[in-house]
Amino acid sequence: MYFAALLARTEDGWEASDTELDNVETLSDLADLAREASPEEDTVLVLIEQEDAWFGVVRIDGEDDPRIYVSDAAAAQRSAYGELLLTDELLGREPGSDDGPDLDSLDLDGTEDGDDEDEDEDEEGGADAVPHSPVGDSEILDDLGISDKELRALSAEDALGSIAEALGAAEVLETVR
């Protein structure tokens, strides 16, 4: 089960809104959705969680590029919403690199039973393996009172509530949960 919410910082405090990510296909779409929540170009946080598996925070400050933190990249990669956040840059890959097999190197005529050399590398955590650890900007919430150490220590099952509590937005987040 997924939960996603927008927290927009206003001069009156934080405002929360439940958000539907079904029509969001890219990180740019997500950033545009977040910017719509704050016409004053204030800070907007997109909080996403998959129950007990992972959580992510996307921070949008005006027209700046989104900043992203994901608690467990490997778990997030297995979900559609997580894949939105796991950009090549975030994972330290060359932009446009493909995790799939090189189709030019595959024997597709069915005449050989050869072993796939890359298969062993992937099972052992090859170069493109996604880590079972946090990725992204762990200092994403530093100026809001949550240090990188505190963020990394959060468990997926209570992270969003803890973040909202530290921001003074627990009540508004609960209204949309």
Q: What is the pLDDT of residue 80?
A: 85
pLDDT for 174 beyond 70:
yes
For 111-129, what is the mean pLDDT?
48
What sections of the chain are H helices per DSSP?
27-36, 73-77, 80-85, 117-123, 148-153, 159-167, 170-176
Q: For residues 89 and 71, what is the distance between their CA atoms, to the nearest angstrom?
A: 16
Cα–Cα dist 77/88, whole Å: 12
Q: CA 48 to CA 58: how far, in whole Å?
A: 8
Residue 88: pLDDT band with limits 50, 70, 90: confident
Of the chain, the end-to-end C-alpha distance in Å amounts to: 12
pTM exceeding the 0.75 threshold for the entire prediction: yes
What is the arithmetic mean of pLDDT over 2-18?
91
Q: How far is CA 7 from CA 58, 175, 177, in A?
A: 10, 12, 12
Report CA 59 to chain centroid distance, whole Å. 10
pLDDT averaged over the chain?
A: 83
How far is 82 from 48, CA to CA, in rounded Å?
Answer: 9
Residue 124 has pLDDT above 50, yes or no: no
Report the pLDDT averaged over residues 113-121. 45
Q: What is the pLDDT of residue 128?
A: 61
pLDDT at 117: 45
